[in-house]
Structure 1
Amino acid sequence: MSQGSDLILARMFALHPKIIDLTLDRVWRLLEALDHPERKLPPVIHIAGTNGKGSTQAMIRAGLEAMGDTVHAYTSPHLARFHERIRLAGDLISEDHLTEILEECEAANGGIPITYFEITTCAALLAFARNKADWTLLEVGLGGRLDATNVVDQPRLSIITPVSIDHQQYLGETLPEIAGEKAGVIKRGVPCVVGPQEPEGLAVIEAKAARLGAPLLAHGQHWNVWEERGRLIFQDENGLLDLPLPNLPGPHQIDNAGAALAALRHLGATEAACEAAVTKAYWPARMQRLGHGPLVDAGGACELWLDGGHNPAGGIAVAATLARLPAKPTHMILGMLNTKDIAGYLRPIAAAAKTLTAVSIPGEANTLTAEQTQEAAARAGIEAGTAESVLAAVQAIAAKDPGARILICGSLYLAGGVLRENG
């Protein structure tokens, strides 16, 4: 009898190597045992970068699907359920199908140490190889060069969204080092769309592309995107597009839309498909307004927002989005992992927060305690307290400041818990 996917995923966690060494050796060994599904995929679009990978992928998918194409998509981490990571020809993978491929990968791996991300990525590639679609969208988990998704020799297109400082323990301390890891997705002769970059990061990407003869489609050189009179304007060598603003909120989504449009135009997408890319993409926990559910009820007349950004660039994006919303007192509920730069995250948002309530992230070993988060907020000059849970924090804020704006933020893991709790 087949077991549920949750049981198998729990066992896969236990296979974790004692030390995380970023290497593709374990992945190649398992892919060989599975008869190389990575060689049998529909055409691949491979997306790396620090911020905006998921939003860019969601827009590309919306554009391709508007043309009638079917799309496999792989993303991480999930928010509420693991199934969100694997989308087969448009639909989330079913429980039965997921259980079947996980069992097959577990058997092929034979109990040898392998990371959870590596074995589940192999499972996704196996599902994609066995199901027909026009496209495969692969989002990098961490870095690029040694990421488990970086096993496709000849993708149709690579994309590098903005690169900033994150995951220094794995990717390097400086922006050029991190950009070098992200540039690992560039393949010989394969075009690469490059979103807005800091000059020192772009220099590394350009050098790698030149070495591999990979044509670049770089922001500011081959395409541009901007907002004008409440519209999104995109320009490349094929001409000008005048489109509605992205339905994903926040000024940073203009740049993400630009990368998605550059990719779609390169692939020959119609103007209608480009419009669908910016107006029909769905990507939860990215400045998402919560409309219903127990947390919304607990907030009464308060506006409830959710965002999973967790690094300094994420803090800048949150601050920029809040600045565009109608003026209203904004109270933050923040939970973060201890592996993240909390001071860097808080710096840009400090001026926007009337108060901050710190929570720990339930079920996460690497969470900062509510007290540690409160101390960091106080150091950033924010009036801060703690709460036992997000629900308790929402209730307390709603009682004190009815009709205010509440933003739950700081981690995708916290956001996932909120989406589960809020139904």
Structure 2
Amino acid sequence: MDLGLERIQKLLSILGNPQEQLKVIHVAGTNGKGSVCAYTASVLRQLDLTVGRFNSPHLIEPQDSIYINDGPVSKEEYDRTLLYVERVNNDQQLFASSFERLVATSLLIFVNHTLDWVVMEVGLGGTLDATNVFKHPKMTIITSIGWDHATILGGSMESIAQAKAGIIKPHCPVVLAPQDESDISNTLVQQAMKLNAPFKLVKEAKQRKEEGEGDYRLELDEHIYDYSVPLRGDYQRANSATAITGLIWLRDLGDIQFTDKQLQEGIAKTYWPGRLEQIPSTILKGGQKLPSILVDGAHNAPATRALRKYLDDTMDSKQQQQQQQQQKKSIIWIIGVTTGKDIKEMLQILLRPQDSIFAVPFSQPVGMPWIESVSPQEIKDIADKLLVKDVKTFGNLKSCLQALPNNDLNYKVVICGSLYLVADFYRFLNENKK
């Protein structure tokens, strides 16, 4: 992968530098970027502001990466704009990558819609990522940083953190999410201080003891914010707090105005698919019954650790309520992984002795030739070395789903390993629902 800003900057210059015409919140990090973007955009929409949002990779179709207000841009507008960008790229022989062309397309579309705000997610890293073209973003946000893309970003946690910190701009406010390692926080803070960028260190929200999962309390600047999130997972305490800290700061700076109630309502309306999303049991064409399936895009060690914790918390809680159950419910893991990931570590985190693995490939994502799916046999080989007793391989997701046992009382099904696999599952549902 050839990272760098020269090509995208030349392309945007020819296109009229649309990035300079936008009011941008730029978000980097390893995990939590997407949900922080979703929370932020949802609150801005609650204020009746027009909002563009860029997230990658796309989920179902390429245009899903580009949101205008409450939904993806139309396929017609996406195709038309992308064709124009590609024509400029080819005519000028810029050799911009497909991701760089996607970023340029999104920025042109955002300018054409005359938006109040744009929430922009980094693709990979930060310093040399194609989204890092904003000289004066209104705010930058860096979410949780973990071990991912290490071969590209330098091979150490410090180099990964430095790459993420590359989106920090001189004198631009930066919100820094809680980090698992103090060295990571120190690296981010040092970069902010070096650039005279004011920064805020986020404190995780706390669970409101008298309420249920997802009901949080955040103490910020001597004010208490009580709110509920629709997204599952304990890590949403940090993600939601990060988004709210940024929004409150923008309010203090005079860039937006909102009440506590508007904040609560905007957070509560947030939707972010493919992250700890429980899909109910479904009857498919032909009469096949698909059991309820938990889908999650966990694709690295920190994300799989969070997924495992969520399952342990929820399954243990249910088993305490059902004292008669003698053994723990097993999990069938439907797993597809992108090349370059540490599959061994992911499996070690996820698996318990009673679990099974259904290893599958995912389909090639449109417009992303650099993405490759690990072969199911490679996943099996690694699982065998870990002495996993029940491992099956499948040529595609459809055959895998058809092989699920009929009795869904004694096991739970989880799809994870890659958002590309999650996307395949959503496509399968859309095409095969009765």
What's the TM-score, normalizing by structure 2?
Answer: 0.87
Q: Number of residues paired by the alignment?
A: 399
**Alignment-mate amino acid for residue 367 of structure 1:** S
Task: List per-residue Cα deviations over 1:223-258 (Å, max 9, x = no partner).
Answer: 4412131331111114111222x2111111111111
**Alignment-mate amino acid for residue 125 of structure 2:** G
Equivalent residue for 2:325?
Answer: none
Equivalent residue for 1:250?
Answer: 233
- Give, in whole Å, the separation in 1 of the partners of 2:17 and 2:204: 39
Equivalent residue for 1:73?
Answer: 53
User: How many Å apart are 1:309 and its aligned residue?
Assistant: 1.4
Equivalent residue for 1:336?
Answer: 337
Task: Structure 2: give runs of 5+ residues left out of the alignment.
Answer: 252-257, 320-328, 366-370
User: How many Å apart are 1:391 and its aligned residue?
Assistant: 3.0
Conserved 8 A contact 2:280-2:291: no
Secondary structure of 1:96's match? helix
Of 95, 109, 116, which residue of structure 2 is paired with 1:134? 116
Tell which deviates more after alignment, 343-352 or 207-216.
343-352
Equivalent residue for 2:385?
Answer: 379
Classify 1:259/1:380 alpha carbon distance in 2 versus 1 (closer, same or farther; 3 Å): farther
Classify 1:256/1:297 alpha carbon distance in 2 versus 1 (closer, same or farther; 3 Å): farther
**Alignment-mate amino acid for residue 394 of structure 2:** A
RMSD between aligned residues: 2.1
Matched, 1:50 2:30: yes
Of 359, 366, 384, which residue of structure 1 is paired with 2:372? 366
Of 161, 164, 170, which residue of structure 2 is paired with 1:179? 161
Secondary structure of 1:164's match? coil
Of 408, 423, 426, which residue of structure 2 is paired with 1:416? 423
Classify 1:402/1:386 alpha carbon distance in 2 versus 1 (closer, same or farther; 3 Å): farther
Classify 1:70/1:321 alpha carbon distance in 2 versus 1 (closer, same or farther; 3 Å): same
Of 196, 206, 227, which residue of structure 2 is paired with 1:226? 206
Secondary structure of 1:417's match? helix
Equivalent residue for 1:10?
Answer: none
Conserved 8 A contact 2:398-2:428: no
- Give, in whole Å, the separation in 2 of the partners of 1:94 and 1:203: 42
Equivalent residue for 2:306?
Answer: 317
Matched, 1:396 2:403: yes
Equivalent residue for 1:355?
Answer: 356
Output aligned runs, 1:157-306, within 5 Å. Answer: 157-197=139-179, 198-219=181-202, 223-229=203-209, 230=212, 231-244=215-228, 246-268=229-251, 269-291=258-280, 300=289, 302-306=291-295
Conserved 8 A contact 1:47-1:57: yes
User: How many Å apart are 1:296 and its aligned residue?
Assistant: 11
- Give, in whole Å, the separation in 1 of the partners of 2:288 and 2:32: 29
User: How many Å apart are 1:401 and its aligned residue?
Assistant: 4.8
Conserved 8 A contact 1:101-1:126: yes
**Alignment-mate amino acid for residue 408 of structure 1:** I
Matched, 1:143 2:125: yes
Task: List per-residue Cα deviations over 1:174-220 (Å, max 9, x = no partner).
Answer: 1110000000111111111111112111111011000111111112x
Tell which deviates more after alignment, 22-31 or 337-346.
337-346
Q: Matched residues, percent identical?
A: 30
Classify 1:129/1:251 alpha carbon distance in 2 versus 1 (closer, same or farther; 3 Å): same
What's the TM-score, normalizing by structure 1?
Answer: 0.89
Conserved 8 A contact 2:281-2:293: no
Task: List per-residue Cα deviations over 1:279-321 (Å, max 9, x = no partner).
Answer: 2111111111113656699873732111111000111111011
**Alignment-mate amino acid for residue 98 of structure 1:** Y
User: How many Å apart are 1:131 and its aligned residue?
Assistant: 1.3
**Alignment-mate amino acid for residue 335 of structure 2:** L
- Give, in whole Å, the separation in 2 of the partners of 1:352 and 1:315: 17
